[in-house]
Chain A
Amino acid sequence: MPQTTRPSENSAPQSRGANVLLEVKNLSTDFVMNKGTVHAVIDVSFTVHEGEVLAIVGESGSGKSVTSLSVMGLLQPPGRVVEGEVLYRGQNLLKLSQNEMRGIRGNQISMIFQEPMTSLNPVFTVRNQLTESIRTHLSLDRKDTFDRAVEMLALVGIPSPEKRIRDYPHQMSGGMRQRVMTAMALSCDPQLLIADEPTTALDVTIQAQILALIGDLREKIGMAVLLVTHDLGVVAETADRVVVMYCGRVVEEVTAVELFERPLHPYTLGLLQSIPTMEDVDDDEPLYMIPGMVPNPLNLPKGCAFADRCEKRFDRCTRQVPDLYEAEGRKLRCFLFAPDHEEVRP
């Protein structure tokens, strides 16, 4: 058996020396289906410090969205957290009752969803939906609640907010709806914002606006952001630290700057190389591509989930799942970086 190096408690690169706000420990989430059990999230641990932007990156099926839903306690059956702790300021969110959780959700932790088209209720006005969370969490009278809602809309950059607040969602464009969602999420000054693909459904120029907005608000309110995305461009623009997920497991955890300068995990490397970049317009080389496909989640391979698609695999990879090793100033789930790996490191 290889020696396992357990990541020590405080090994994560500290951001701004701030306190730990959210700590996810060994989280595992299963979906029990007729055809079998899907292990959507397997033993995932990470921390978010105050005021920090942590990005969770992965392709569809990597478990990134399920992780964020598990943290929020919004998982629908057949999904179920089977193991682990979600500590928010030391309090385990998974142990809270529905009522207690409601006091935190939308107030201290809030969430922006991916689809601005479907996440707003089409039969209520923006005012109705926006004031709901303010009414629930802040004790303000009717007038102040309305003023607060208008103020939030103005903050997220909606022109003539006192007029637009009477609109129904269908009267607004996609970018506007995403702003309304953001306003709703921010209306109670959350400490932590979970943004699940906040810009995926938007046009590039609107995406740039929303990212700039989240960055601005982070400075103003001082909130931490857990950004869930598949878009490494968005990560490069906003994140301080990055957790890369593949098939439910964390495969690399590192600061954003280092991730892009020196990606080490073969999956991360492949992902970065397969993005069409804007530099080198002249080169007509075919794009780098990761061969093969993401394995079927019902039937994960015995060894490393990425082994099938990996150019650097050796026989050990297909036999057993690597641990998350501490190496090169980051965490890596790859035998190439195991302390007992004989070969010379690249």
Chain B
Amino acid sequence: MTEPLVSLKHLSKFFSVDTNLFGRTTSVLKAVDDLSLDIYPGETFGLVGESGCGKTTVGKMLVNLYTPTAGEIWYEGQNLAKLSKKDRRHYYREIQLIFQDPYSSLNPRMTVGDIISEPIRVNKLERPDKIDDRVSYLLNAVGLSANSRNRYAHEFSGGQRQRIGIARALAMEPKLIVCDEPVSALDVSIQAQVLNLLSDLCDEFGLTYLFIAHGLNVVKHVSDRVGVMYLGRLVEVAEKRELYRNPLHPYTKALLSAIPVTNPAQRKERILLEGSVGSPIDPAPGCRFASRCYAKGDCVGCACDAEMPELVEVSPGHFVSCYLFDGE
């Protein structure tokens, strides 16, 4: 088996919500809680979950926008936290982020050419006289004409802006791109264009993606492996086909069932979850999903309310965190 490109080991990120008189934290928001994950070179790992489950926080920790509270991020066999500042800079160049909202993630006062060439200049990736060629090349790679460089972001539609964002990420010659819901703000017909562009670029530039999304249908199309998150915990990880054919965790099943069908003749009985996603602030001990779980009754004598179940491997490559599949 190849070495993972990125390895997250027991990664946690807590935010302090409330402090007492003496500045000691009394209330903690556990955005990501003890999450371990390997991403292999060349693969697309889909990370799925509803809003507030911590998927974006994972992405932000990977690109060093957040510092983990606990745990380690290993990149190509090195612990990023242990590296010197200078070395770390080199690694972070290789991990780039594409944002969700193409309207707010591009500076309205910069031309497209400036937006894309800035990272090249700052990191001295190209000789100054070659920068223009590089910008044209990148614009062409994402399907925009080279003369768009003199225009401003507001002159472009949502799908084109997302392409500019992708070109900006590519400018750093990254190995790993964290795509944070790159298509959820786009129209259906444009979504397909951007998704196809991302998978073309993956082949062309040999990229690895961490693809973050809130629905399983988009992820299905681009991912090799999929991880499902619920309130800061990874509840199920499997190879794509395995996950869609044989979902095990009750939450994964509910998510899959919530996807609208595209054939009214097949309107189905779906698993409707009660209530909404709980609060990640001071979570109760036990399985995070327990309060909404419809399968809790099937598991007599389980410690659902007492202790968080471990992520166990039920079949090769298929991990699930639920007492129903604890193996005992």
Chain A interface (Cβ within 8 Å of chain B)?
59-60, 159, 173-176, 203-209, 211-212, 230-234, 236-237, 239, 256-257, 260-261, 270-272, 274-278, 281-282, 286-290, 293-294
Contacts and interface: CB of A to CB of B under 8 A. Distances in A.
B121 to A, nearest CB: 31
A206 B255 CA distance: 10
A261 B216 CA distance: 23
Contacts of A281: 220, 240-241, 244-245
A261 B263 contact: yes
B189 A203 contact: no
B298 interface: no
Contacts, number: 128
B85 interface: no
Interface stretch (B133-141, B170-178, B271-279): B271-279
Interface in B128-175: 157-160
Given A260-B264, A277-B262, A287-B195, A206 B276 contact: yes
Interface of B: 50-51, 157-160, 187-193, 195-196, 199, 214-218, 220-221, 240-241, 244-245, 254-265, 267, 270, 272-273, 275-277
A195 B276 CA distance: 21
Contact of A204 (B50, B192, B195, B199): B50
B261 A236 contact: yes
| Highest count of chain A CB atoms <10 Å: which of B187, B217, B241, B260 | B260
B188 A271 contact: yes
A285 to B, nearest CB: 10
A261 B217 contact: no
Contacts of B218: 276
21 contacts: A59-B187, A59-B189, A159-B275, A205-B273, A208-B258, A208-B260, A209-B273, A211-B260, A230-B188, A236-B263, A274-B191, A275-B217, A276-B192, A281-B240, A281-B245, A282-B241, A287-B195, A287-B221, A289-B192, A290-B189, A293-B160
Contacts of A206: 50, 276
Nearest to B221: A276
Q: Which 4 A-B pairs have the closest CB atoms?
A: A233-B260, A274-B192, A203-B50, A289-B192
B185 to A, nearest CB: 10
Contacts of B277: 173, 203
A236 B188 contact: no
Contacts of A211: 260
Nearest to B243: A281
| Highest count of chain B CB atoms <10 Å: which of A176, A205, A207 | A205
Given A203-B51, A278-B256, A287 B262 contact: no
B220 A278 contact: yes
Contacts of A270: 189
Contacts of B199: 286
B111 to A, nearest CB: 20
Contacts of B190: 59, 293
| Highest count of chain A CB atoms <10 Å: which of B240, B258, B273 | B258
Given A237-B260, A260-B264, A205 B50 contact: yes
A105 B258 CA distance: 33
| Highest count of chain B CB atoms <10 Å: which of A257, A272, A293 | A293
A289 B193 contact: yes
Contacts of B214: 203-204
Nearest to B158: A60
Contact of B264 (A173, A174, A257, A289): A257
A204 B259 contact: yes
Contacts of B275: 159
Contacts of A159: 275
A270 B190 CA distance: 11
Given A281-B244, A282-B241, A236 B195 contact: no
Nearest to A62: B187
B264 A256 contact: yes
Nearest to A207: B258
Contacts of A257: 264-265
A233 B196 contact: no
A309 to B, nearest CB: 8
B87 to A, nearest CB: 37
Nearest to B240: A281
A209 B272 contact: yes
B90 to A, nearest CB: 34
Contact of B217 (A207, A230, A276, A288): A276
A204 B255 contact: yes
A173 B192 contact: no
B217 to A, nearest CB: 5
Contacts of B267: 236-237
A70 B61 CA distance: 46
Contact of A60 (B187, B215, B264, B276): B187
Contacts of A233: 259-262
A206 to B, nearest CB: 6
| Highest count of chain A CB atoms <10 Å: which of B188, B257, B263 | B188
B262 A175 contact: no
Contacts of B157: 293-294
Contacts of B159: 293
A278 B216 CA distance: 9
Contacts of A272: 262
A254 to B, nearest CB: 12
Contacts of B257: 208
A80 to B, nearest CB: 25
A288 B275 CA distance: 36
Nearest to A211: B260
B51 A236 contact: no
A173 B267 CA distance: 28
| Highest count of chain A CB atoms <10 Å: which of B255, B257, B259 | B259
Contacts of A59: 187-190
